[in-house]
Amino acid sequence: MKIIVSPNSYKESLSSIDAANIIISVLKKHLNNSQFIDLPIADGGDGSFDVFSKYVNGITITKKTLSPTGEKINSKYLLFDNGKAAFIELSDSSGLKLVKKDFRNPLMYNSYSTGEIILSAIKKGVKKIILALGGSATVDGGIGILSALGVKFLNKDGNVLKRKNFINEISKIEYEKNLFSNIEFTLLTDVKNKLLGKNGASYVFSKQKGATKLQMDELENGLLNLSNITKQKIKVNPEMIVGGGSAGGIAAFLKVFLNAKIYSGTDFFFKIMNFEKHINNANILITGEGNLDFQTLQGKAPFEVAKKGKKKGLLTIALVASVDSNAYYELNKFFDIIIPFRKKSTKYSIQNAKKLIKEESKRLAEIIDLSEKII
């Protein structure tokens, strides 16, 4: 029996690489005659750098920068393709994982540090930058990144704005036409949400970044302000860009200012993993992440993995910390079996993820073993 193990990361607790290793090590003890294929995946969110580095050879470059809260950190990126390209994970420099829960407030932070990382790679001579957008702590429309790259955002008095998140104060934008036109930018995202509205960057994603309802309204107005000024300046509508709401609107405005291409993170990783080839002649496909819900169905890695599995007729299984009961009906169209961790608090699940995934992998092994005997 051929079993593919392809989990995504378990947010704030376990990387996809570690999760795959644990699942396989447990299953091997109980399913002696099975062949296991280790294929951890990412979709542009947390852990994308490590997964990319697993499949693509390159040189890791470390750069000192600041976290969203201003603490000194070492961030990294991967030079590959003989130094012509760089892979950067936004969450490594502007990520929610870098901000303690009590300090999460997207009105306070911008993405400037990620801009510094991009600039560092450009100075090393790269001509292609792949930026994984998931896991951001910010809802700044990319003004931090763009400021680091030389775009000037001015207030009504003509002063250059430099405070953390100033999207509501912008009155004018100054920038060099054809900014970095010699660089190819690719943005990896796991969502298709547009910039504004009830399904946009603020109202869907800012709550998990610490925003209150009033702050969501303020962030929405700020993104609208930035969009209106951008439309006047460039004659392009950021609000119509599919996926533009990713990473607090970063995707929309990097596409407008840098001519960046927005690409499905999961599809990108499927290609570099040669996923289709590996799942041929497989019997079982195991995936998972922290939570399955309606957002999962918008293009998250486990959903895309499950779709591939169903298309090939594989038994498709998800190991997850939790599942939204309201989404169960739709999820069951793609997952044959969903195994959530036994009822635990989110805090407990994060702190004990390794232990819990071992326990559920053992339960999964028993289910697979029993199904084999029945068949």
**pLDDT tier for residue 372 given thresholds of 50, 70 and 90:** low
CATH class of the domain defined by 48-265: alpha beta
Burial of residue 232 (number of CB atoms within 10 Å: 0-12, 13-18, 19+): exposed
pLDDT of residue 211 exceeding 80, the answer is yes
The dihedrals phi and psi of 209, each to the nearest 5 degrees, come to -95, 5
And the tokens for 101? 């829960």
Whether residue 300 has pLDDT greater than 90:
no
pTM of the predicted model over 0.85: yes
Span 17-74, pLDDT tens digits = 999 999 999 999 999 889 999 999 999 989 999 999 999 999 999 999 999 999 999 9
Q: Domain locations in the chain?
A: 2-36+283-374, 48-265
Q: What is the pLDDT of residue 63?
A: 97
Instruction: Annotate 26-64 with DSSP letters as a single string.
Output: HHHHH-TT-EEEE----SSSTTHHHHHHHHS--EEEEEE
Those residues whose C-beta lies under 8 Å from the C-beta of residue 60, and which sit 6 or more positions away, are: 53, 76, 77, 78, 79
Q: How confident is the prediction for the chain on average, in pLDDT?
A: 93
For residues 22 and 11, give the distance between their C-alpha atoms in angstroms, rounded to a whole number. 16
Q: Distance between CA atoms of 254 and 260, rounded to whole angstroms?
A: 6
CATH domain 2-36+283-374 topology: Rossmann fold (3.40.50)
